[in-house]
């Protein structure tokens, strides 16, 4: 998945303590009850973090966001105020679901405060993977039923100049403190910025939504919208990006750092240690993560070697990897054929989703597969998941990379779609979104170790029980994806803790995976600019697999995979410590005689029925 920056994770999770039995009556509605106070705090915080622009707004802060340091200071002050308000609420007077929400809100507030001690906002302003130079992606997918929505896009275009000026000022402030990204990666960005400048405004990526307007808009109004959009592109967008490009090439790049590790920044060692805790939602140290990675790489190597022998390839294992990377039979020549293969892979999953999740929890919103825009494709992932809109008005999508199809192996297609589609991100995220009984900050939360851990775990579900890796090569592709995520534990910590060079990181991935050189290059550059995030996948998956093994052992005949997966997903995205608590409480409840399909802290969260006391 692409970055989800709004969420704060924690350094440490407070002890869950003993919780009361599930409530058999709805929460009281009086504004004086602890529950009402708690939910009022949740709503106030959510609205402050997700303000809706006033009707007809023209200011860049309302339309694009506020990149300024004053805004960062206000966010920190809000987190501290929210935490203080939370502490005034008596947690012992809340029902179990609210107690869990209390601790998750406390979790996020604590991490926002802890993260403010480091230059996270400044360090992550812009990379080859995100930043204002990629904002046209939002316009490509924009669609409205009336002129009002398109008029809003025109206002947004006209506000782009002031926004880029404020963004440039924030970058200059970060540069003055030595907070910059590595030049070796940031040299990808000028071409991305230049792609936003179009001599013909109708060829601008920002004009895409205006090319085909709905018939419900009168022709005269359509013409005005198009004329206004072209005027904004010519008069505001093009000059703003031209100025931003000159700043980036002439000022930022010469000051970009040569060292690629984040530890080279001021207080960088402590900053990276925080990022490890932040993204894994554990208290693991970089050294512990590195050692775990080495062990997992060795373990998965043994499985890959066994399959390599089963295939019967004549030559060494190294020769086999070269064969996989270079033999034309493993690749499509035509991007359209590659796209069709991705779509077919998602359809193979559909009949099996009922084998791994209760039908009551399966998401209602559909999803599809479409190409990643050509302007983004060279520098981005093989695929990524685009969640559905929060109100369900837009389906989810998996964006697939059709750039250089000769570098996109056929044997990786199924496992990649299992991760980004269903049963991966396009299952977990919509399930959480549709848990209507939970406050918004929980429904739309995204803890990386949980979300990426689930998606990696989903790859194992496509192996068993789904049986979708139907030949030795697709099974090898599945194992190679497991190896890819294990290698990340070594490479990310190698770069940011132990001072590895980019060449060292590339070679380690070449030696230990069957990934193509194109994929390896974009992956290593991703780890360089996004320290710690890549650790979340394997840490999360290993936790889920361990919890599943423990549940099987303890529950015996009472265990089913569907009940276990329901428990994992049924409370939305969770930090690792909380996930462990939820699963262990379910195990204890089931052993105590409660129905195995009854979730801890709630029964079936979509229903309004009270949990039956057992």
Angle, helices 448-463/413-420, rounded to nearest 10 degrees: 140
- The alpha carbon torsion through 152, 155, 156, 162 (nearest 10 deg) reads -160
User: pTM, whole model, 2 decimals?
Assistant: 0.91
How far apart CA 237 and CA 160 sit, in angstroms, is 6
What pLDDT sits at residue 606? 54
What pLDDT sits at residue 19? 30
How far apart CA 555 and CA 541 sit, in angstroms, is 21
How far apart CA 148 and CA 594 sit, in angstroms, is 53
What pLDDT sits at residue 6? 34
Is the sign of the CA dihedral 388, 394, 396, 398 positive or negative?
Answer: negative
How far apart CA 497 and CA 263 sit, in angstroms, is 6
Q: Which residues contact 520 (CB under 8 A, 6 or more apart)?
A: 506, 509, 510, 513
Strand bridging mode 396-400 / 367-371: parallel
Q: Which of 555, 565, 557, 498 lies closest to 531, judged by CA?
A: 498
Instruction: Collapse the DSSP code of 67 into the 3-class scheme (helix H, G, I; strand E, B; otherwise coil) and give the result.
Output: coil
Which of 589-613 are b and which e, b meaning 16 or more Cβ less than 10 Å from the residue's Cβ?
A: bbeeebebbbbbbbbbbbeeeebee
What pLDDT sits at residue 601? 81
> How many other CB atoms sit within 10 Å of the CB of residue 152?
17
**pLDDT, tens only, 482-492:** 999 999 999 99
Q: What region does 218 belong to: left with phi over 0, alpha with psi -120 to 50, or beta?
A: beta
Q: In Å, what is the CA distance from 19 to each residue of 16, 41, 195, 283, 307? A: 8, 21, 55, 24, 48
pLDDT less than 50: residues of the chain: 1-28, 607-614
What pLDDT sits at residue 5? 33
**pLDDT, tens only, 293-330:** 999 999 999 999 999 999 999 889 889 999 999 999 99
Q: What percent of the chain has pLDDT over 70?
A: 93
User: Long-range contacts: 481-485, Cβ < 8 Å, 24+?
Assistant: 481/412, 481/415, 481/416, 481/419, 482/300, 482/456, 483/297, 483/300, 483/301, 483/304, 483/512, 483/513, 484/509, 484/513, 484/515, 484/523, 485/456, 485/534, 485/537, 485/538, 485/541
DSSP 563-595: HHHHHHHTT-S--HHHHHHHHHHHHHHHHTT--
What is the rounded average pLDDT for all residues in the chain?
91
Give the helix ranges, DSSP H, for 497-571: 502-512, 517-529, 536-555, 561-569
What pLDDT sits at residue 390? 85
């Amino acid at each position: 998945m692409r970055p989800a920056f709004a969420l704060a994770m924690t350094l440490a999770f407070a002890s869950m303590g003993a919780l009361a039995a599930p409530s058999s009556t709805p929460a009281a509605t009086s504004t004086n009850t602890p529950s009402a106070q708690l939910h009022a705090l949740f709503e106030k915080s959510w609205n402050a973090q997700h303000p809706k622009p006033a009707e007809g707004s023209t200011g860049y802060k309302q339309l694009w966001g506020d990149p300024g340091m004053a805004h960062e200071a206000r966010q920190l002050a809000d987190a501290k105020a929210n935490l203080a308000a939370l502490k005034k609420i008596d947690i012992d007077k809340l029902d179990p679901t609210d107690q869990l929400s209390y601790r998750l809100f406390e979790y996020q507030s604590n991490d926002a405060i802890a993260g403010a001690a480091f230059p996270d906002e400044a360090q992550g302003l812009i990379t080859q993977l995100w930043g204002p130079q990629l904002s046209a992606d939002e316009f490509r997918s924009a669609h409205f039923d009336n002129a009002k929505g398109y008029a809003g896009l025109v206002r947004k275009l006209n506000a782009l100049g002031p926004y880029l000026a404020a963004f440039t000022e924030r970058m200059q402030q970060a540069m003055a403190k030595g907070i910059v990204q590595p030049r070796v990666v940031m040299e990808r960005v000028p071409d991305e910025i230049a792609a936003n400048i179009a001599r013909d405004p109708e060829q601008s990526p920002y004009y895409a939504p205006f090319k085909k307007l709905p018939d419900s808009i009168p022709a005269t109004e359509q013409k005005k919208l198009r004329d206004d959009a072209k005027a904004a592109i010519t008069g505001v967008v093009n000059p703003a990006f031209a100025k931003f490009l000159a700043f980036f090439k002439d000022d930022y790049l010469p000051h970009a750092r040569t060292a690629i590790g984040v530890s080279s920044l001021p207080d960088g060692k402590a900053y990276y240690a925080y990022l490890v805790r932040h993204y894994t939602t554990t208290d693991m140290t970089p050294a512990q993560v590195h050692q775990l990675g080495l062990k997992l790489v060795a373990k998965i190597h043994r499985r890959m070697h066994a399959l390599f022998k089963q295939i019967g390839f004549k030559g060494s294992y190294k020769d086999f990897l070269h064969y996989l990377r270079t033999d034309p039979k493993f690749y499509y020549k035509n991007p359209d054929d590659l796209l069709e293969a991705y779509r077919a892979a998602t359809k193979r999953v559909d009949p099996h989703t009922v084998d791994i999740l209760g039908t009551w929890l399966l998401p209602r919103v559909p999803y599809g597969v479409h190409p990643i825009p050509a302007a983004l494709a060279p520098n981005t992932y093989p695929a990524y998941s685009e969640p559905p809109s929060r109100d369900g008005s837009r389906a989810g999508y998996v964006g697939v990379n059709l750039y250089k199809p000769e570098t996109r192996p056929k044997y990786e297609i199924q496992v990649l779609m299992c991760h980004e589609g269903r049963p991966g991100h396009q299952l977990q995220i919509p399930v959480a979104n549709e848990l209507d009984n939970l406050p918004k900050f929980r429904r739309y939360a995204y803890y990386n170790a949980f979300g990426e851990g689930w998606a990696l775990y989903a790859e194992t579900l496509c192996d068993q029980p789904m049986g979708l890796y139907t030949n030795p090569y697709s099974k090898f592709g599945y194992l190679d994806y497991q190896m890819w995520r294990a290698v990340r534990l070594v490479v990310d910590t190698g770069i940011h803790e132990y001072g590895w060079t980019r060449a060292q990181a590339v070679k380690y991935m070449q030696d230990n995976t069957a990934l193509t050189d194109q994929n390896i290059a974009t992956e290593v550059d991703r780890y360089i600019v996004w320290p710690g995030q890549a650790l979340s996948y394997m840490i999360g998956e290993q936790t889920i697999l361990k919890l599943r093994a423990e549940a099987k052992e303890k529950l015996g005949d009472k265990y089913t995979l569907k009940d276990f997966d329901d428990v994992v997903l049924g409370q939305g995205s969770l930090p690792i410590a909380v996930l462990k608590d939820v699963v262990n409480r379910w195990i204890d409840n089931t052993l105590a005689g409660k129905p195995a399909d009854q979730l801890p802290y709630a029964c079936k969260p979509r229903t309004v029925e009270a949990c039956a006391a057992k």
